[in-house]
Every structure is written in structure tokens, then in C-alpha cells.
């Protein structure tokens, strides 16, 4: 069980810090200061190399997102930090986040929790390579809380877009990366920090695999890009661990997941996930991150397709269309290649016998649920 010190800057989900918020003290001081933000002047000389040139090229594609925090977000931060501050609707403060421009006509990808933690009327701040900045009101929002990704639309044209790595470009441990975003205040917009990809395929309090990085990621960086040394986006920063004695544990949604979610949101306004319609229980080893070949156990059967196939509580799931699955994240990653209505063959154990079940996948706004075991629920 993770024992984390959660500071006032944190929005907490299952012991993980989501990084789209700022300290309550900052809310008040930023609201009262009345400062005018001036974007930094960014210019890459033809002789400059490495970080300088890359940051100058990508920065105009990174936006700041600012809004009034919802009462729920404010109170959640207060509770998490032990702060007994009262919510003041006349002075609720300011919340910050980041985003990445993906179309010239104003579509931006960010984190779902960034926009969810703001009241309607959030603003997007853009700047070009000369440092000239503009402010736009968010017009449309399409959000997917499962992946923690969202699309927002502003009424703009001629914006500079970011490029994402292709699906063939697999991130590697040790690869140099740069994180860009708006930590704590608009006066710090387009702050760049550097590091490496520390790990890949991290199943950390998320429905899909994440990248791990040691690049400094701070509250307000949520929704900003993690870029490689070619200036291409390898992922969208989403959260970090915070605890006494824990440093540089940031996590990023990989580009291939971002592209999958974006495509669905553009096509349907939602993510139409394929699902078995089951609640599944992972093994204790899987829950604590141990390498394992253990199978998944059916804890409950919900969909008509699964019931029709004869799947029962207590059955064990080994594979889907010949692919072994050991965790619910494995299953979610696999089902990105399927759509609701597709049929799949499952190899399972039922009443002691190895059987094959054919199931028609259902549509779910979430994913096949995972049921906590005792190892997940407690312990020192």
C-alpha cells in the first residue's frame, strides 16, 4: 500500500497526484495580483543545437489553460492537504493546466482532469514564436475520464500544430525528453524541463500503459507535451507520485494512446470502447507489479453477450483471440484494435475444464472493471 505525503498542490486519485492544479495559496495571490502575462521571446538561431532549438520550435504549439476551479476541486484539494480553508464563491482562485495544439483551426488536446476541474468559461492562452500571445474562450469540450484525455476547441485559425511520433517509433528507456507546460502560474508558462524516459509500459493507477519520466513535472503541467529530441510529442503529461523521499516519478500518456482517443472523440464525441462486459480480478502478483503469467478471474458477469457465451463467476480467463492477458491493462490495450459488436474467442477455465467461449463485445464508456484483492486493499 502506497504511503504518500499529499501536499496542498495535489489533486489525488488512488494515491497518485494529478498535476493540473496549483496551491490554494497561489489561487488567492494570483487572483489578487492583477498581473499581465508576457510570453517569453523565443527565437532559435541557425547555429543553436539541442534543447534550445527544439524548445523554440515546439513552444508555440503548447498552450496554457486557465479557469476558475470548481467547488468540488477546491474542496478536494483542501481535504487532501488537511487545509480547513472555506470555499469562497466570490474569490475561488485560479486553476492552471496545459495543452497541445493539434489543428490549425483550434483543436487542442489536454487532460480530462484539467478541464473537469474548471468551471465553464475556461480560457486558452496561445503565443507565437515572437512571444505575441492571445486569449480565447473554450467553445467545445469532449472528454474521456478513463484515459484522462480531452479535446477542447477555440475559435482560432493559423495556429502552429505539434507533431506526434508515429506508431512505429517506440519510446525507449534512456531516450532524452523535454516536458513543457504551465506550472503554478501563467507567469511560468512554457516552462521546459529535461530528463529521460525512465520506464515504459507502466500500469500505474491508469487504464492504459503509461511512460515514466524523470523530467520535472509540476502542478499545472497536466496536458502539456513530453517531446523527444526530434521535437515530436511522445506523450501527454498526466500525473506524478509525491511522497517524502520520492523524486522524479512523472507519468505520461503515450502518443499511440493519445491518437486512439483523439480519433474516437473526433468521430463520435465519445470513446466507444469494446468490452467483454465482465468484472475481472487480477492476481496479487499482478496488483503489486510483479512479473506474472497468472490469468484473470471473473468476479461478475454483466453483458448479455458474456452470459450467452456461458461465462460464469469464478471462471478463469487466459487469452483473447490467441493473445495472453494477465492484467486488465493488457486487456484494455488489446481492445484498442476491436470495436463493439466484434466477436472474440476466449480460452478459459470453467469448472476445472479448459474451454473456448465466443463472445460478442459490448460497448462501454469505461473498461472491463478490475476488482481489488486483499493485497490491493490494505497492509503495511
Asked if residues 111 and 150 have their Cβ atoms less than 8 Å apart, the reply is: yes
Give residue 1's pLDDT: 25
Between CA 295 and CA 328 the distance in angstroms is 10
Q: Which of 21, 185, 222, 364 is catalytic?
A: 222
Q: Which helix (H) or strand (E) holds 143?
A: strand 140-144
Between CA 249 and CA 57 the distance in angstroms is 26
Provide the residue-wise pLDDT of the chain in tens; the chain has 380 residues.
Answer: 222 332 322 333 333 444 544 433 333 333 333 333 344 444 444 334 578 889 989 999 999 998 877 767 656 665 555 555 655 555 556 778 899 999 999 999 999 999 887 877 788 999 887 778 899 999 999 999 999 999 999 999 999 999 999 988 889 999 999 999 988 777 777 889 999 999 999 988 788 999 999 998 888 888 999 999 999 999 999 988 776 677 778 899 999 999 999 999 999 999 999 999 999 999 888 887 788 899 999 999 999 999 999 999 999 999 999 999 999 999 999 999 999 999 999 999 999 999 999 999 999 856 565 554 443 433 33
Give residue 84's pLDDT: 55
Residues 76-91 as b/e (b if ≥16 CB within 10 A, e otherwise) read: bbbebbeeebeeeeee
Give residue 262's pLDDT: 96
302 a catalytic residue: no
Between CA 199 and CA 212 the distance in angstroms is 5
Give the domains, in start order, of the chain with CATH numbers.
11-268 (2.40.10.120), 273-377 (2.30.42.10)
* CA angle, 113 then 118 then 119, to 5°: 140
Q: Which of 59, 98, 113, 198 is catalytic?
A: 113
How many secondary structure helices (H) and strands (E) does the chain include? Answer: 9, 24
Integer distance in angstroms from the first to the last C-alpha of the chain? Answer: 6
How would you classify the pairing of strands 278-281 and 369-371?
parallel
222 a catalytic residue: yes
Give residue 269's pLDDT: 93
Give residue 116's pLDDT: 83
Give residue 291's pLDDT: 82
Amino acid at each position: 500500500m502506497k504511503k504518500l505525503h499529499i501536499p496542498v498542490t495535489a489533486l489525488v486519485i488512488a494515491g497518485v497526484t494529478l498535476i493540473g492544479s496549483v496551491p490554494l495559496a497561489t489561487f488567492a495571490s494570483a487572483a489578487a495580483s492583477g498581473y499581465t502575462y508576457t510570453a517569453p521571446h523565443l527565437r532559435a538561431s541557425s547555429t543553436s543545437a539541442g534543447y534550445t532549438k527544439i524548445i523554440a520550435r515546439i513552444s508555440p504549439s503548447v498552450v496554457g489553460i486557465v479557469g476558475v476551479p470548481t467547488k468540488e476541486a477546491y474542496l478536494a484539494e483542501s481535504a487532501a492537504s488537511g487545509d480547513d480553508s472555506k470555499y469562497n464563491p466570490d474569490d475561488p482562485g485560479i486553476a492552471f493546466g496545459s495543452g497541445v495544439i493539434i489543428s490549425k483551426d483550434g483543436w487542442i488536446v489536454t487532460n480530462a482532469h484539467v478541464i473537469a476541474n474548471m468551471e465553464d468559461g475556461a480560457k486558452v492562452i496561445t503565443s507565437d514564436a515572437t512571444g505575441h500571445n492571445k486569449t480565447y474562450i473554450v467553445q467545445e469540450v469532449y472528454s474521456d475520464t478513463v484515459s484522462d484525455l480531452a479535446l477542447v476547441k477555440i475559435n482560432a485559425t493559423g495556429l502552429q500544430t505539434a507533431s506526434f511520433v508515429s506508431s512505429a517509433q517506440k519510446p525507449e528507456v534512456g531516450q532524452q525528453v523535454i516536458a513543457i507546460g504551465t506550472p503554478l502560474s501563467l507567469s511560468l508558462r512554457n516552462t521546459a524541463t529535461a530528463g529521460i524516459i525512465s520506464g515504459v509500459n507502466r500500469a500505474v493507477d491508469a487504464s492504459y500503459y503509461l511512460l515514466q519520466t524523470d523530467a520535472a513535472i509540476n502542478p499545472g503541467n497536466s496536458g502539456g507535451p513530453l517531446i523527444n529530441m526530434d521535437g515530436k510529442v511522445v506523450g501527454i503529461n498526466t500525473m506524478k507520485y509525491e511522497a517524502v523521499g520520492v523524486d522524479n516519478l512523472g507519468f505520461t500518456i503515450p502518443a499511440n494512446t493519445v491518437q486512439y482517443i483523439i480519433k474516437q472523440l473526433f468521430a463520435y464525441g465519445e470513446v466507444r470502447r469494446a468490452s467483454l462486459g465482465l468484472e475481472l480480478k487480477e492476481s496479487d502478483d499482478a496488483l503489486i507489479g510483479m512479473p506474472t503469467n497468472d490469468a484473470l478471474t471473473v468476479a461478475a458477469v454483466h453483458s448479455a453477450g458474456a452470459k450467452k457465451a456461458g461465462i460464469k463467476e469464478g471462471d478463469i480467463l487466459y487469452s483473447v483471440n490467441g493473445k495472453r492477458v494477465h492484467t486488465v491493462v493488457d486487456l484494455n490495450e488489446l481492445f484498442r484494435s476491436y470495436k463493439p459488436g466484434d466477436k472474440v474467442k476466449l480460452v478459459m477455465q470453467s469448472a476445472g475444464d479448459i474451454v473456448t467461449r465466443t463472445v460478442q463485445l459490448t460497448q462501454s464508456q469505461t473498461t472491463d472493471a478490475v476488482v481489488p484483492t486483499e493485497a490491493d486493499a490494505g497492509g503495511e
